[in-house]
Amino acid sequence: QGWPGEDDPVALFYKQADFGFVRERLEEMHSLCSPVSGQDKLEPGDRSSLHCSKDLQFCLAKNIQLDFSSLAGRVEQENLKYRMDIFHAGDITVSGCNLDTDNLGRQLELMSPLQSWAPELQNLRQSDENTRDACDITIDTPTYVVKLDASVNMYHHFCDFFNLYLSIHMNHSLSGMDLSSWSTNKQVLLLENIPYRSAFSPTWSAFTSLPMMDLNSVAGKKVCLKEVMFPLLPRMLFGLFYNTPVVSGCHSSGLFRSFSQFILHGLNIPSYGLLPHQRMRVSIISRDTRYRRVTNEGELVKALEQTGLYKVTLARYSPHVPFPSQLTMTHNTDILVGIHGAGLTHLLFLPDWAEVFELYNCEDPGCYNDLARMRGVGYTTHNWGEQGDLMKVVEVQGGNTGPAHKKFVNYEFDSNEFVKVMNSLRKKVLDKKMYRDPFGSHEEL
């Protein structure tokens, strides 16, 4: 069923979680700095421009100056991630265009670090002088100015990557389908000063071939940018995919599938085809954490292998395993198994016919169910009955006892029941036309 005011659930899903979301942002685009006629001081190619979507959630600018002079001492003393005072009044300058300050003022409602660019662009000022005349650093390469969520967590960091991907789609449309929009010859400027380190850092190779810059690179300097994108952000209200409200019953977003293919292609992830005799590759996520570990995972692996129907791998998705190797395992998995946790974000990169089995959702039912629906892969969780029957809770000393208690314990699952569920998922995969594709390879890995 649709929602109030939107009777067609398919149309609503398209706007919430597919290319309709991008189209609506494109329809919101408007100019905040109109060209000045008769401007003799500046050549046309040196004049600024600024176009943004509603509430400054996405912006494109040309010939803009960012003044980082006030950060000279701060980068050594403060953690500037998530800060809304990196810039002060007048630190962002445009010239050769009329800044619409009234319209700008009406776009500042979402004053939050990861919801919009209002914290930064509220500091815009207009100058009559060429912004390039007082630059310490001039960057002619098209630049992404980026604010990141938690880069240690796959779910949250891939909200960053997903929204950057959406933003490139927007830029591609706004540029008249210029294919250079997809070029990796882009400069990334991170608005943070703690050196970026992440197990997921290889993903950047899909977006840029250049070394990334951060606030340490520009502190104390005035930086002039020829072309700059302020991309969609990871925690926008009704954004993608953090806390995305998704109409029930709909699945398989073309946008999510294209993102998956974009990353897999950008990182050169191979596909090995299917196993012979309808054996299925199963990857069970093994958590190397204090909480939400499956204490009898070895027993579950043994029970599955004894059926002869599965090739089972304990997937240790840790920083010690190179991320492209993790994606290779995921992309060649028929059934992905794991307890509630960020590792299940790997489902984005499963083959189209795959199934996801969230062993227990820890009373957070929507998160990975919705993500699987949007990606278009199957999703199952299971009712293990009364506690202590088919699922045992293993308390952890010093664990949280509050409302989120279920996320701060470990678990043990009945192996016979586990195999029953897995066999039902195997049948679902076998019934999918995509799996039965006669042109697929049948070489064993």
Angle of helix 9-17 versus helix 19-28 axis, rounded to 10: 70
pLDDT of residue 40: 61
CA distance 385 to 409: 18
158 preceded by a cis bond (ω within 30 of 0): no
Report the alpha-carbon distance of residue 413 to residue 262 in Å, rounded. Answer: 36
Three-state DSSP at 69 gives helix
Residue 325 neighbours by CB under 8 Å, 6+ apart: none
Check whether 2 has a pLDDT greater than 70: no
How many other C-beta atoms lie within 10 A of the C-beta of residue 99? 19
| Whole-number Å distance between alpha carbons of 76 and 193 | 8
DSSP 256: H
Beta bridge partners of 311: 281
- On whether the CB atoms of residues 378 and 428 are closer than 8 A, the answer is yes
Strand partners, 146: 190
| CA neighbor of 90 nearest in space, from 77, 79, 99 | 99
What are 365-374's contacts with CB under 8 Å, separation 24+?
367/155, 367/340, 368/340, 368/344, 370/241, 370/244, 370/246, 371/241, 371/344, 371/345, 371/347, 372/347, 373/246, 373/250, 373/251, 373/252, 374/17, 374/241, 374/244, 374/246, 374/251, 374/252, 374/253, 374/256
What is the SS3 assignment for 301-346? HHHHHCCCCEEEEEECCCCCCCHHHHHHHHHCCCEEEECCCHHHHH
| pLDDT, tens digit (0-9, with 9 covering 90-100), for 22-49 | 999 999 999 999 888 765 677 778 899 9
Query: Does 219 score more than 50 pLDDT?
Result: yes
Residue 402, token pair as written in the block = 């509050």
Asked whether the beta carbons of 130 and 94 are under 8 A apart, the reply is no
The pLDDT of residue 439: 56
CB atoms closer than 10 angstroms to residue 322: 11
Tokens found for residue 376: 């278009």
How far is 169 from 15, CA to CA, in rounded Å? Answer: 15
C-alpha 260/C-alpha 404 separation (Å) is 31
Strands 30-35 and 97-99: antiparallel
Please report which confidence band the pLDDT of residue 442 belongs to, taking 50, 70 and 90 as the band edges.
very low
Q: For residue 144, list its beta bridge partners.
A: 188, 229
Contact 320, 263 (CB under 8 A): no
Query: pLDDT per residue over 388-402, tens digit each?
Result: 789 998 888 876 676
d(CA 435, CA 442): 11
Q: Is the pTM of this model over 0.85?
A: yes
Is pLDDT above 70 for 215? yes
Share of the chain above pLDDT 90, in %: 83
Checking if the pLDDT of 103 tops 80, the result is: yes
Distance between CA 150 and CA 164 in Å, rounded? 15
User: What type of residue sits at position 35?
Assistant: P
pLDDT, tens only, 277-307:
999 999 999 998 889 999 999 999 999 999 9
Task: Judge contact between 67 and 93, C-beta under 8 A.
Answer: yes
The identity of residue 370, as a single letter, is D
Instruction: Render pLDDT for 139-178 as a digit per residue (tens, 0 to 9).
Output: 999 999 999 999 999 999 999 999 999 999 999 999 999 9
Query: Nearest CA to 311 among 415, 413, 426?
Result: 426
Sign, CA torsion 27/33/35/37: positive
CA distance 171 to 166: 9
